[in-house]
Structures are given as C-alpha cells and as structure tokens.
Amino acid sequence: MTLALRKLSRFVWEIPREGKMRVAGRLYVSESQLAALRADQALEQVVNVAHLPGIVGASLAMPDIHWGYGFPIGGVAAVDAESGAVSPGGVGYDINCGCRVITTQLHVDDLRNHLHAIVAKLFAAIPTGMGAGRAIPRLSPRELGELMTRGADWAVARGYGAGPDDAAHCEESGRLPGAEPDWVSQRALERGADQVGTLGSGNHFLEVQQVTEIYDPEAAAAFGLRTGEITLMIHSGSRGLGHQVCDETLHELSRVYARFGADYAALPDRQLACAPIGSELGQRYLGAMQAAASFAWANRQVMTGLAVRAVAEALGLPETELGARVLYDVCHNIAKFEEHVVDGQLRRVLVHRKGATRAFGPGDPRVPEAYRDVGQPVLIPGDMGRYSFVLAGSTGAMTETFGSSCHGAGRLLSRTAALKRARGRHIERELAARGIEVLAKGPRTLGEEMSEAYKDVEDVVDVIAGAGISRKVAKLVPLGVIKG
C-alpha cells in the first residue's frame, strides 16, 4: 500500500483522510523511523483504524509503532462514548499489560556483592514462563471475583506491596470501576486462578535497575528518583485470564460484527471487528475486559510484595530499610472512558491504547497529588541490554494525543528472525560482560528478547519528547533481569 504522507513538523506526519476514512492518520516518528516503516503493514493498520465507527480526532501512531493484531502496536484511537465502537483488537490479547517502577533508598554500591543473590531470590520467588503459576495459593472463583473488583487494593490488603500509597500511585488507582467479574468465563477463571503474582513469558520481565541520568531535576525529585539509587521495574499483564477474555470475544465478534450495520460490515480488516459500545456484546466485553485489567493490577501488586521481600532477604535487611515505594503503574493495552477536549469541546470518549501509555499533563486532577505539578509519570521500558526511561506527561499530550505517549522500544525483528540471529551465541554471557545478571527459563527467550530485536528506546523517547508529548525525566539501566 503506497501512502502519501504530509509532514506537519519535524516529528509529526499526517496520512490524509480519503475514501471511507472517518479521520486522518497521524504519526509521531522521525524521518529514519518512517523510512523503516514503509515496508511494514503497520501504516496500513493506521489507515484501517481510521474507519472505526465513532472515531474522533485522528488515528494515532507512536514512534514505537509496529504491526499488530488489527490495530498497530503503538496505536491510539478515541471513539465517542455514545456512538462509537469498542474493538478488542484495539486493546490486544494481553489486557492491561503494563509497567510499574518501584523506587528504593538503596544505592548501587549496596548491591555490589549481592546482585547474583538478589536475582536468584527474585527468580525463585516470582514464577516465570509460559503457563507459570502458584506464586500464591490458587484462588477460588469467589476470591477471583473479589480480586477483579478491587484490583491492586485486593493485594495490598493481603500484605503484598511496598507502602500504603501503592494503589494510589497506579493509573485509575489500580482498578476499573466498570469491572464485571460475572462476565468472565469459567475457562478464563480457571486459567487465572493460579497465575496471580506471576510474570509470564515473551517480553515480560522484572529488572533491578540503577538511575544513571536525570534530565528534569524538578520532576525527578517529585518522583523520588536520584542518581545511583536502585529501582525495580515490573512488566507484565493479565496472563491467561486476559488472553481468554480477548480470544472468546474475538471469536464471537468474528461471526456477528457485520450485523451491527453497514459501517461495521465495511471495515477494511476483519481483525478490527468491533461492537457498538452500548450493545449487549460491547457491554459484556467492556465488563470482562475491565475485570481482566483489574486482575493485571493485582498481579503486578502481588509481584511487588514478593520482589520487595526477595530483595530484603538477599541483603539480610528488614523490608522497611529498603525504603521501597511504588513510583507509578501504567497500562499499555487498555480501553478506558476518559474526558478530553475534541474540536474545542469536552467530550466523553473511549480511548483505545494498544501499546501506548497514558501521559496526562501537569495540573490534571486525574494525576496523583504528589505528581500533579509536574505531570503523570510515564514509564517506558527498553530492552534488557540497554536502558529504560521515566518521562512526565505534558500539556502537548492533552491537546494532541488524548493524553497518550509511547510505551516501549518496539520490535525490529520477529521472534523467528531474532532466534536466527541468536543462533550459536550465548546471550546471557554477552549480558554478563556488560555487567547485567540475567536468569530465564531457557536460551530461547533470551534469543527472542535480545537487544537487537528492538529499536533503541532512546530514539523512541527522543521523538516523543521532541514532539512535546512527554518530557524526559530519568534513565534507568539494568543490573539484573529475570525473564520467562
């Protein structure tokens, strides 16, 4: 598909509206990133998303964009809350795959002789890999229902956490009020019953990191980030429960979505199959998806408690001496009802973020009070061999992207291509030579997830900062990694 793009500014490009597109496409990429994208189907997906019933503003793509299911990964679309459609492809299979950062008062020097023990303790405490479970006892359907209603608070009440303000420092306070556990199938419950507090596989990880650079001292001070101090970053989601919710909905939608009317039948890609928000199927998906999102927050919250305990035990310290606290927790795959200004008017919209992160700016009442003067923390994980970033939301995000930013590095190589490139290499030794201790279930994951499989995340955040969507606050460099 050949697209004629119009350059709006150094980092912003427009795909003009044509045919049955309801809105234009808008890309946040550099010229070099755009050149690489020309051979990727992701640009075509940006155009396809612009056909969604009820879409407003533009079909957006962040600089970590790459091909995904229906929506591109790195895609953002807002639809009118009354007349719009909800598309499971705009959320993805890993509902509320997200990221949190835990700050500590530990200095890198405190870990010099303990890094191997810390990584080993973390790997033992937090199950990793496909289908991994039993970090905590298997939950009954009643307990799962309570967990999916309360989210992070469910885990905090059971002693899993870093401090009393953990849930307050999560997006949406770690739960979505529209969660309907009764709309989560028995099969989904079975898959999730023993997976609370587990990492999973693929690009999910837990890292021990060092703060190496501060770019915005005011925001860093508000976030509790200081050069040389240790952070923990957790990247995981709703595990098998969320996957099942998505899979079942897509299966049902594939048979009926065209019955919702001509606008639905004419969608250019069956993977965009969607339902009117107010329809029975739309409401059932939203209720189950929000329950799965709350499950994911509880999952990361339990892992927070397990991780803090493991680090304390490895160092022979009481947990209170770590000074651990949740900086923030953000969703990467979600659809949420929010209010935004569209064409000069405040409107209630359903914002689909598929591989994108909320990035609300300074002064927004939806940002925790501790961070309101500087903007919401925006957590951008990189690859396990380089670095990650903490950004802060900006007013630019509020006016241009429905308060959204990039979410990570974005893949360059497929998993198959990465494994071919890793053949004959020892990725764990390469990381060790760079001072990074890693433990994983096996070499396959390390090959699939090696640094060359990803864009350089600094190139991604430099675009988003250059476009005025988020501000760089700090760089976090991995010291130890556990992977599935």
User: What's the rounded Cα separation, in Å, for the pair 444 and 130?
Assistant: 12
Tell me the residue length of the chain: 484
Specify whether the backbone of 62 is left (phi greater than 0), alpha (psi in -120 to 50) or beta: beta
Can you tell me whether residue 214 is helix, strand or coil?
Answer: strand
Q: Which of 114, 251, 407, 426 is catalytic?
A: 407
Strands 55-66 and 24-28 turn out to be: parallel
User: What's the rounded Cα separation, in Å, for the pair 128 and 287?
Assistant: 28
**310, 288 Cβ separation under 8 angstroms:** no
**Backbone phi, then psi, for 282, in 5-degree steps?**
-60, -45
User: What's the rounded Cα separation, in Å, for the pair 294 and 169?
Assistant: 14
**Among all chains, which residue has been given the structure tokens 């689909």?**
352
Contacts of 384 (CB under 8 A, 6+ apart): 205, 207, 431, 436, 438, 449, 450, 451, 478, 481, 483
User: What's the rounded Cα separation, in Å, for the pair 314 and 328?
Assistant: 24
**427, 357 Cβ separation under 8 angstroms:** no
Contacts of 46 (CB under 8 A, 6+ apart): 15, 25, 27, 59, 60, 61, 65, 72, 75
Partners of 63 in beta bridges: none
Count CB neighbours of 10 within 10 A: 11
Residue 78, token pair as written in the block = 């807002």
Q: How far is CA 168 from CA 69, 152, 163, 177, 370, in A?
A: 32, 9, 10, 15, 10
Helices (H), 350-483: 395-400, 415-422, 427-433, 443-448, 457-466
Element spanning 305, H or E? helix 280-315
Residue 289 CA from chain centroid, whole number: 15
**236, 381 Cβ separation under 8 angstroms:** no
**333, 96 Cβ separation under 8 angstroms:** yes
Establish whether 407 is a catalytic residue.
yes
User: What's the rounded Cα separation, in Å, for the pair 295 and 305?
Assistant: 16
In DSSP notation, 228-264 reads TEEEEEEEE--HHHHHHHHHHHHHHHHHHGGGG-HHH
Q: Which residues are catalytic?
A: 407
